[in-house]
Amino acid sequence: MEEIDLPVKPPKAQPHSKQAVVDGDWNVLEQLEIGEMPFRFRLSFAPLLEMIKKKAESNNVVESSVGQLVMSRLKDIPELWQPIEDRSILEKHQDVIELLMLMVVPPVLRRNQLIKVSAPFEMSPIYMTEALQEHVQAKNFKYVINHKPGYTFCSMVISACSFILNTYYGTNLNVDSPLSISISNPHTGMERHYKTRLETEYMELKKLKPLKPLSQDQINELLSNVYDLDLWLEYLPPENFEFRGFTIGTLIDITEEEALSRLKFALLERDAVVQEEQVERLESLVRNFLNIPNLQMGVTAIDYPKEQRVAHRYKIRYDFLADEQENLLADVNAGSIYEKACKYQEVVLVEDLDKVKNKTPIEEGLLKKGIRSIIVAPLLNKKEQVIGLLEIGSSKAFELHSFIELKFRELTSLFCMAVERSRDEIDNQIEAIIREQYTAIHPSVEWKFIETSYNLLEKRETEGKNAVAPSIAFRDVHPLYAQADIVSSSDKRNQAIQADLSDNLQLLLNILNKAIALARYPLLNQYRSSAEQNLSGILKDFNSNDESRIVSWLKDEIHPVLEDIRARYPELQRNISYYFDYIDADLGIVYKERKKYEDSVSLINSTIAHYLEEQQEAAQKIVPHYFERYKTDGVEYDIYVGQSLLKNGSFKPMHLRNLRLWQVIDMCEVTRLVHHLQAELPVPLTTAQLIFTYSNPLSIRFRMDEKQFDVDGAYNVRYEILKKRIDKALIEGTDERLTQAGKVAIVYLQEKDRQEYLEYASYLRTEGYITEEIEDLKIGKLQGVQGLRALRFTVKQ
């Protein structure tokens, strides 16, 4: 029999449930709108009565006697042989209906099985067992339909269509019942999970019109598009069929399987055993899995033996004695149930803690916490080392026993993985913080720090703790510097600030004018005058000092007054509330245009940074080199490469040439990236690209106070001075900036550098990176620097 997997996502534009969670009487579930079924269906006992009639005529004495008894009761009730439109007939002949239900649901199943009988595709029952009736009568229970809106409707339609295919088109399809329900008991906090099984033995199908022929290809098309209800209803028109009879629905308890499945998924989540809310959720799932109300669960990270203890905690401390015991494995707790679980790496079961001899502070503490029976399991990592403990406890002696222990063991491997993963994540976070906040060690030079640290360890063994850490320096390295700087960034930032302040002051003036018209409030007149002067001033001649002055004035003086008049004058409440909603809640001022500008800068920076990171990772594979990137109004970076930076292998001149060409190509690509970003930028911004080539190798040293590398020696400092000053350089004899939007400028010192980069430019022109024109320019005199030259070319977009 072929099975159909029903879609996880229901079809669009289909009716859906009013709600997934219902508090109160089970009967409310009957009112859930699953959607109006497109097929006709009628309640009928005829299929059952035909079966009983055959039994009455059979040769089996028992079946014949029972069948004849039922048929005799039906002799004077012909309406039960017909489709039932008026449901009051059921009440009128309730005793006969009960007799008929004996043939459907045997008495032995009625006390414990949750069974209902309904008309085809109806939620409300015409009969239910005693066990189900108890749920119906229960109050304050919470019922959860475990499906997305529309899922049940979709599934029921496909079930009906599959029944048609099986009946008239020779298929043999089996569609699992779609409905699953969770029932929460507010008194115990427990949750039970059920899936439905639908039996259609007493349902029959009537043709109302001639069958629409379907080819095997069309049937296959239906089976390949289970979610497409329009297609199914086109091939199987609902008006052609009528369902008669009744169906039998059974709720099957799947609590244990469901709880275990949910535990697995919950433990896969990040921070599953770190966040208190998550641990409480796990505790609830464990209660459901073991079916013990008020069960307590604890989990903690721990290192055993002591030699394996790390220098930090793992934020996983949810054991029963977390508030009482600093260290569960302290010497004073030797011989405790926790130590035994760790020492022997075995699950420890204690049915009654009160009867434990030679109690340690652990057992005494657990009893004070109300724990009488407990199971403790060690959690092991892949190396079979103890990394934590999992425990469950009950306030009742012997409520936890060997049978519970067997089921509990199923959980330990799941918690082992969760605790190990969380510990690893915390270790990684700590390592990342160390790198970020304290060392900033680039991977290319990490080997040198490890080597130096090991040498320091050896020195301390001979010289003691006073041994001084040697400095870390790399000599004869070649620098490569480049930047992509946002053009006129200061002007555009000031324009954005000016626009926001103007907007802010204009809003304020509107409010002040209305307030002054309402009542005599001399201070408002003064503030209006100040606002007008400030607005006029920033529109005529804005400078950076205006921003801090006006912002302080608004926050310290104006906003308290606005709050006061909002409370005094109801007529102004709407205007003032709009004002406070319009300004930024954190900054306390209008933050519209500046946000657009800063968002644009951020997008440009992140795009360039991401590209450069990808490229430098690829370049590292050719020759390891030190790379450091900075974000300003744009992006700039330093590269240092040379033999002293290599732990293994050799550095050759071709490596330097390769990186220099790679750098020029990168700056061309960055120019293109920024150009293609223009449509996404809230504020149009462009970048100007600059490369500084420095022929002489230099030395860099790690500065312990600044936790970063810097050039070393007075002579080498000239490189840093040049690098900082060329950014604002002008072409000699003009007011034109060297750096221009859409172009790449290369500043050089020596003729051999010029020849080298002209070769690169020729290659770039051939490959279509740049236009034909290559400018060879003299740079105007800078402070303490003269004689610099530059090549400049335009990048093709």
Q: Which tokens hold the place of 779?
A: 């740079």
Give yes or no for a cis peptide into 361 (omega within 30° of 0): no
- Tell me the helix, strand and coil percentages in the chain, rounded to 5: 50, 20, 30
Strand partners, 41: 243
Task: Find all residues with CB under 8 Å of 109, minimum gap 6, and list them.
Answer: 115, 129
**What is the Cα–Cα distance from 144 to 184, expressed in whole angstroms?**
8
From the list 461, 439, 460, the residue with the least C-alpha distance to 450 is 439
Give the Cα separation of 272 and 278 in Å (integer). 6
Residues in contact with 47: Cβ distance below 8 Å, sequence separation at least 6, in sequence order: 201, 202, 203, 204, 244, 245
The whole-angstrom distance between residue 74's C-alpha and the CA centroid of its chain comes to 62
Please state, in angstroms and rounded to a whole number, the distance separating the CA atoms of residues 138 and 23: 11
Cβ atoms of 684 and 708 closer than 8 Å: no
Which residues are 746's β-sheet partners? 691, 791
Q: CB count, 10 Å around CB of 712?
A: 18
Question: What single letter denotes the amino acid at residue 170?
Answer: G
Buried/exposed code over 616-629 (b: 16+ C-beta within 10 A; e: otherwise): beebeeebbbbbee
For position 22, what pLDDT does the model report? 47
| Tokens standing for residue 315 | 């934020």
Report whether 489 contacts 601 (CB < 8 A). Answer: yes
Give the pLDDT of residue 29. 47
Which among 745, 615, 611, 616 has a CA at the least distance from the CA of 677?
611
What pLDDT was estimated at residue 131? 86
| Residue ranges in the chain whose pLDDT is less than 50 | 1, 3-33
Cα separation, 45 vs 38, in Å, equals 22
Contacts of 673 (CB under 8 A, 6+ apart): 607, 608, 611
What count of other Cβ atoms lies within 10 Å of the Cβ of residue 224? 9
Give the contacts of 642 (CB within 8 A, at least 6 positions apart).
Answer: 474, 475, 476, 477, 478, 651, 697
How many whole angstroms separate alpha carbon 175 and alpha carbon 158? 8
Q: What is the pLDDT of residue 8?
A: 39
C-alpha angle with apex 727: 724 to 728, nearest 5 degrees? 115
Nearest alpha-carbon partner for 305 in 323, 329, 282: 329
pLDDT digits (tens, 9 = 90+) for 46-95: 999 999 999 888 888 888 888 898 898 888 898 999 999 898 999 899 99
Residue 740 main-chain phi, psi, to 5 deg: -135, 150
Q: How far apart are CA 789 and CA 778, in angstroms?
A: 5
CB burial of residue 151 (10 Å; 0-12, 13-18, 19+): buried
The continuous run of DSSP H or E covering 251 comes out as: strand 247-253
Taken as a whole, the chain contains a residue count of 797
Q: How far apart are CA 293 and CA 480, in angstroms?
A: 68
Query: Cβ distance 212 to 240 under 8 Å?
Result: yes
DSSP 8-class letter at 554: I
Q: How many helices (H) and strands (E) are present in the chain, helices listed first?
A: 24, 26
| Residue-level pLDDT at 28 | 44
Residues 6+ apart with CB under 8 A from 364: none
SS3 state at 315: coil
Tell me how many degrees the CA angle 735-737-743 measures, rounded to the nearest 5: 145
Residue 610 forms beta bridges with which residues? Answer: none
CA-to-CA distance for 739 and 688, rounded, in angstroms?
A: 5
Q: Which pLDDT does position 26 carry in this prediction?
A: 47
Round to whole Å and give the CA distance between 670 and 604.
10
CB atoms within 10 A of CB 548: 9
What is the reported pTM? 0.49
Distance in angstroms (rounded) separating the CA atoms of residues 324 and 319: 10
CB of 699 within 8 A of CB of 476?
yes
Cα distance from N-terminal residue to C-terminal residue, the chain = 61
Q: What is the pLDDT of residues 92-143, one digit of tens each?
A: 999 999 999 988 888 888 888 889 999 998 888 899 998 888 877 776 566 6
Taking the C-alpha atoms of residue 784 and residue 43, their distance in angstroms, rounded to an integer, is 101
CA distance 374 to 353: 8
Q: How far apart are CA 570 and CA 500, in angstroms?
A: 28
CA distance 732 to 546: 35
What's the CA gap between 532 and 409, in Å, rounded?
Answer: 76
Q: Where would I find the H helices in 394-488?
A: 402-433, 446-463
Q: What is the pLDDT of residue 589?
A: 92
Cα angle vertex 499, ends 495, 500, to 5°? 120
The residue type at 197: R
CB neighbour list of residue 107: distance below 8 Å, 6 or more residues apart: none
**Separation of alpha carbons 366 and 353, rounded Å:** 8
